[in-house]
Chains A and B, each alone.
Chain A
Amino acid sequence: EIVMTQSPATLSVSPGDRATLSCRASQSVSSFLAWYQQKPGQAPRLVIFTASTRATGIPDRFSGSGSGTEFTLTISSLQSEDFAVYFCQQYSIWPPTFGPGTKVDV
């Protein structure tokens, strides 16, 4: 099973700041990497798939990059609605696995 790790566990930022979240896979997952946003009491929402493709309705301040084992989610200018937990997920090798999440808060 591929183990996904994320850093930092918590990212304390202010509105308007740039946020950079990291995700690492224990072995190469090529570009089969997705990012999800989860707010308290809500289901996760797909943000990025295939490492860098924004999902429908996701604003362009969100961008993803990376391939192989190292990936980054960047939020260029944080808005109040972006404060949430972000999970990465690999879907290259069965079973699909998620990272433990990065909480973005004030």
Chain B
Amino acid sequence: EVQLVESGGGLVQPGGSLRLSCTASELSFSTYWMGWVRQAPGKGLEWVANIKQDGSQRYYVDSVKGRFTISRDNAKNSLYLQMNSLRAEDTAVYYCVADRSGNYPYWGQGTLVTVSS
């Protein structure tokens, strides 16, 4: 069974940084685009970023461009999201997703990021 396990969430002050990690098991990780989708408390889903299999292409939602960086390590079956200059509006559960041609058949359980003073 495919598993995606996120870690690294927590409480951070506005302007601070966090690095999220996602480790995949039972997934042919290096063959998938991977991404992050977030969900603010009580709200809907928002795609945040994704990265090509070899890391050569990366895309971001406009609201995080220049602040967030997505990366991956195929040798470790791991995906990362470095989040800098965090804002209150970045508060959300962040889900790691495996991206199959734009839809998401596999999701992690999510990790909560709270930006507050």
Give the B-binding residues of A (Cβ under 8 A).
32, 34, 36, 42-46, 49-50, 55-56, 87, 89, 91-92, 94-101
The interface size of chain B toward A, counting residues with CB under 8 Å, comes to 18
Q: How far is the CA of A49 from the CA of B61 in the complex (A)?
A: 22
A-B CB contact pairs (8 Å), 9 listed: A43-B95, A49-B100, A89-B45, A91-B101, A94-B59, A95-B47, A95-B61, A95-B62, A96-B102
Judging by beta carbons under 8 Å apart, are B103 and A34 in contact? yes
Chain A: which residue is nearest B109 at the CB level? A43
Contacts of A97 in B (CB 8 A): 47
Q: How far is the CA of A10 from the CA of B59 in the complex (A)?
A: 33
With A43-B109, A49-B103, A55-B105 as given contacts, are A95 and B59 in contact (CB-CB < 8 Å)? yes
Q: Is the interface of B mostly helix, strand, loop or mixed?
A: strand
With A43-B95, A43-B110 as given contacts, are A98 and B105 in contact (CB-CB < 8 Å)? no
Contacts of A44 in B (CB 8 A): 45, 95, 104, 107
What's the minimum C-beta distance from B28 to chain A, rounded to whole angstroms? 15
Q: How far is the CA of A36 from the CA of B45 in the complex (A)?
A: 10
Interface residues of B in 87-117 (CB under 8 A from A): 95, 100-105, 107-110
What's the minimum C-beta distance from A38 to chain B, rounded to whole angstroms? 8
